[in-house]
Structure 1
């Protein structure tokens, strides 16, 4: 008797979507964002370009979704639990661990090109930029802020410190060095950023007094 089962359209669509993700990420890494086109993504993925336009309005939107999926896929493949921030009670050690992982991710050839492309495109496309922040940056910033609030409650960070501003003191230097390629982005640099930032955040330094002023008073 002939098999009259209806093809699973959902499964076929998922295969096509996955192929499009992989094609977009590969092309950006190989030829750069500027030379990556919807037509090239479609050809690499083995789908019609109208399939892509039916799901996404632009190549930037394709790349953003592919990049978000890449992060989730890597976590699933590694059997990781939902993202969290370590809290060993040692704030400096916890921050250094996370910033070192950030350095590794930014330097990873598989993620560097799409991250740079999305950061640059988000500057000229406000809608994409807002989505980039909301879906990729904001969740991470909330984890940092939560860890810093816990440190405040433990008396390790001054009560008057704004956790969200403190997060920028930690993350912005890495982003600046990576985006502008001013100097190599290393674990040693991440550690130094934490050490310098905590000089101003910790309860060991009086509010409103800089590290240099404290050093001068001790002379």
Structure 2
């Protein structure tokens, strides 16, 4: 008689976690952050409510981790590697390249729907807003800081500039246009932002 193998609790937990991530992202996209509930996520994932509370203390934590996981999966599918902005020696080209990738992500419904819902809720929900910035936004912005500091060392950017402020010249307009629907976002648009940021508005 064949010996029965014990259930793999690790595999079962990972399967449940993935189901919860998917359910959370789907639900927030359909009903928005405010109407999404732990009960709704649990029902859609096919797990008990207590399973969720065993791993997370709130729906904000569930959604934030689900979104972080989505980003990690996308990074792995694109080849993985260290999260850095490439340094080819051409700062403008490097910034344009990463901003074009950002445009692709913002226009991908898998990212666009949940990230828009989280960003919008973060405006009125201070706790969620802080978490959104700390866990999702700031790590990405620090990649720009690192690349701009490298450019400063190479003499491509003025040494006295604050990279954290400088990056807002091209990142913030993109975020505002995307969030507020003030115009289309495209490669041409982000390329222009980089050119304006690097070369200024005054005649050369």
> Shared topology, TM-score over 0.5?
yes
Question: 2:29, 2:117 within 8 Å by CA — same for their partners in 1?
Answer: no
Whole-Å Cα distance in 1 between the matches of residues 117 and 60 of structure 2?
8
Whole-Å Cα distance in 1 between the matches of residues 115 and 31 of structure 2?
15
Q: Deviations over 1:170-204 (max 9, x none)?
A: 2000001011001111111101110110024xxxx
Whole-Å Cα distance in 2 between the matches of residues 165 and 69 of structure 1?
28
Name 1:17's counterpart in structure 2. 17
Name 1:29's counterpart in structure 2. 29
Question: 2:33, 2:121 within 8 Å by CA — same for their partners in 1?
Answer: no
Question: 2:105, 2:111 within 8 Å by CA — same for their partners in 1?
Answer: yes
Name 1:87's counterpart in structure 2. 87
Whole-Å Cα distance in 2 between the matches of residues 78 and 160 of structure 1?
35
Aligned residues: CA RMSD: 1.8
Name 1:143's counterpart in structure 2. 143
Whole-Å Cα distance in 1 between the matches of residues 145 and 99 of structure 2?
14
Pairwise CA distance, 1:2: 6.4
Name 1:50's counterpart in structure 2. 50
Whole-Å Cα distance in 1 between the matches of residues 5 and 24 of structure 2?
33
Pairwise CA distance, 1:42: 1.0
Question: 2:28, 2:36 within 8 Å by CA — same for their partners in 1?
Answer: yes
Unaligned runs of 5+ in 2: none
Whole-Å Cα distance in 2 between the matches of residues 51 and 65 of structure 1?
15
Q: Which has the larger radius of gyration?
A: 1
The normalised TM-score by structure 2 is 0.91
Q: Secondary structure of the equivalent of 1:143? A: helix
Whole-Å Cα distance in 2 between the matches of residues 9 and 126 of structure 1?
37
Structure 1's 42 and 81: CA in aligned 2 closer, same or farther, altered over 3 A?
same
Pairwise CA distance, 1:13: 1.3
Question: 2:170, 2:193 within 8 Å by CA — same for their partners in 1?
Answer: yes
Question: 1:29, 1:110 within 8 Å by CA — same for their partners in 2?
Answer: no
Question: 1:16, 1:45 within 8 Å by CA — same for their partners in 2?
Answer: yes
The normalised TM-score by structure 1 is 0.86
Matched, 1:133 2:158: no
Unaligned runs of 5+ in 1: 201-210
Name 2:116's counterpart in structure 1. 116
